[in-house]
Structure 1
Amino acid sequence: MTLNKNASIFTFTTVVLIVIATSPLLAQKAPEFSNDLMMDDKTYVYLIAEKLEYRSVSGVNPLMWEVQGYVGKDLHKFWIKSHGETLTTERETEMEFQGLYSRGITSYFDLQAGIRYDLAYEGSGNKSRGLAVLGLQGMAPYFFHIDGGMFVSEEGDVSASLEAEYDLLFTQRLIGQPVFETSVALQDVPEWGIGSGFNNVGLGFRLRYEFTRKFAPYIGINWESKLGETADMVRAGGGHVSNLSLLSGLRMWF
């Protein structure tokens, strides 16, 4: 009799505990998501010179660079970006700088917003302009690296650009990288040599050897062509609409 009574009490107690633990009214509410809950949510600093290269373009032979980096956590970062070119045979340089706030919106993509500053030296003169930026950067399916942005200048001129890259691992150290680039504008901006519509298209391939992940010289080939009204502006100025060049450079990150 005592055994049955103890069994009944144990069964009743177990049922009561299960009901309490599973009750939506009494169960503990999960805390709101916060970066503070992530034990590995550290502050990171990253800087990469994606391209530091010399191109064999007839008559101008430009030196090109593309550098970017960030400081921040997994979800929130501040990015800096710069790219441009300077001619080795003429006193002419064009460069672009961006400062962006970046917010992770998926596991693979960041939404970015900020400002961009363009600066160009041509002979003894120079020109500059500021633009607002809204961009998207990350890794698309099949490991395509995407960096795209929309820009609005001080004068209200709207443009956009897109760059896509892919790493082909021939070995753990020898890596090929095809690159696609294009840009488009809604208005003519003659002082910057930009026409409305698609402005240009570029295709390239770089083959790098990573002595370490942080140090990788490369060689490659690049083709680019101006399009539409932008090409007409180049022709009117006596320039080349398209060119094919060999290149060599260095990729480093810190």
Structure 2
Amino acid sequence: MSPKSFPARTVLALATLLALPAMAQSHDDHAAHQAAPVDHSKMDHSTMEHPKMDHSRMDPSLHAPTQSPREPIPALTDADRAAAFPPIDHGAMQHAPAINSLLRVNRLEQWDGGHGNGQAWEASGWIGGDINRLWLRSEGERRDGRTVSSDLELFHGRSISPWWDLLVGVKQDFRPADSRTWAALGIQGMAPYKFETSATLYAGSGGQLMAKAEVEYEVLLTNRLILQPMLEATLATRDEPGHGIGRGLNKVETGLRLRYEFSRRFAPYIGIAHERLFGDTADYSRLDGDHARDTRWVAGVRMWF
């Protein structure tokens, strides 16, 4: 049969049947494109021409929230405010006391040197407020069962800066010679780079003036293991053979102590200390049967209350 013999309607119906699968596939692809989420992070916005986009034809319902809150937030009431901010009972409030105190035993140690052994101590304490305090300091030494030096100092201290206190008071010597009283003026505090420093000038009978300076520094090897070097020097303006004091630089003591703080209140330590006398002070010491220098191994404890 010749193709010309088919009617036109028959040819149109056959063409429609052949096109139906392609149309169905195109419709499914369009539906999948609308249903699939768009990954905006992978879109190159720099190549888009936003001024030419027709924003008026965009469906605002696409940006609308999909659902409303399940339960509306209730309005704030006076009862809610009262529960959040209860009335304050000022009578039950506890304030920090205006008067505080501290007692610190810097060194309480047993030492063993080349010329004997003994014990030594150094302690300080205060009571008062943030600006004005009453200070108490004491140090001394025992050698071969006898006390060779001891003193007690009493000061009024006033804070002159966040790091420094000015001290005015008296010092009482009990050894090595007869008891002796000194007027004292000093300063103590934290120097730059955290050097703990104290310097005191003493005025005694007979026009004698003495000065004593001490510097300590703490090296934190760990949070509990601390290495502490120390340097102390004493000077005098007059010779006093009866008290074993020579003019000028008469004594220098250095030390290196390693302590372990089981707590801030209790820390045992070990270390080494070296003491040397100079000038006439060394000569007076030799005449008394002592030595001008000595190196000691020390072991002790540091405490505060």
Normalising by structure 2, we get a TM-score of 0.67
- Extract unaligned runs of 5+ from structure 1: 1-38
Determine the C-alpha separation between the residues in 2 that align with 1:252 and 1:90: 24
1:160 aligned partner:
211
1:62 corresponds to which residue?
118
Please state how far the C-alpha of 1:233 moved relative to its aligned partner: 1.5
Contact 1:60–1:90 at 8 Å: present in 2 too?
A: no
Q: Give the letter aligned to residue 113 of structure 2.
A: V
Deviation for aligned residue 1:156 = 2.3
Give the SS at the match of 1:56: strand
The answer on 1:111 being equivalent to 2:166 is yes
Q: 4+ residue runs of structure 1 moved beyond 4 angstroms?
A: none
Secondary structure in 2 matching 1:231? helix
User: C-alpha separation between the residues in 1 aligned to 2:168 and 2:117?
Assistant: 33
Shift of 1:41: 8.1
Q: How many Å apart are 1:40 and its aligned residue?
A: 6.8
Q: Following TM superposition, by how much is the alpha carbon of 1:147 offset from its aligned partner in structure 2, in angstroms? A: 1.2
Structure with greater Cα Rg: 2
Unmatched tracts of structure 2, length 5 or more: 1-94
> What's the secondary structure of 1:191's corresponding residue?
helix
Give the aligned partner of residue 179 of structure 1.
Answer: 230
Q: Distance in 2 between matches of 1:40 and 1:248?
A: 37
Higher strand share: 1
Where does 1:145-224 land on structure 2 (aligned, <5 Å)?
145-224=196-275
- Secondary structure at the aligned position of 1:199 is classed as strand
Flag the 1:60–1:92 CA change in 2: closer, same or farther, 3 A: farther
Contact 1:41 1:74 survives alignment (8 Å): no
The residue aligned with 1:91 is 146
Residue 102 of structure 2 is aligned to residue 46 of structure 1:
yes
Equivalent residue in structure 2 for 1:75, among 117, 125, 131:
131
Relative distance call for 1:41 and 1:135 in structure 2 (3 A) is farther
Q: Following the alignment from structure 1 to structure 2, what is the Cα–Cα distance between the partners of residues 179 and 146? A: 10
Distance 1:129 1:229 in 2: 20
Deviations 1:93-150 (CA, angstroms, capped at 9, x unpaired): 32110000001111111010000000026xxxx6210000001110000000001100
Q: Size of the alignment, in residue pairs?
A: 211
The alpha-carbon deviation at position 90 of structure 1 amounts to 4.2
Q: Which residue of 2 aligns with 1:139?
A: 190
Match of 2:54 in 1: none
TM-score for the superposition, normalised by structure 1? 0.80
Amino acid of the residue matched to residue 268 of structure 2? Answer: P
Q: Contact 2:125/2:137 (CA < 8 Å) preserved in 1?
A: yes
Tell me the amino acid that sits aligned with residue 51 of structure 1: R
The one-letter code matched in structure 2 to 1:130 is T
Shift of 1:155: 2.7
The match for 1:11 is none
Which is bigger in relative contact order (C-alpha 8 A, separation at least 6)? Answer: 1
Higher helix share: 2
Distance 1:59 1:231 in 2: 15
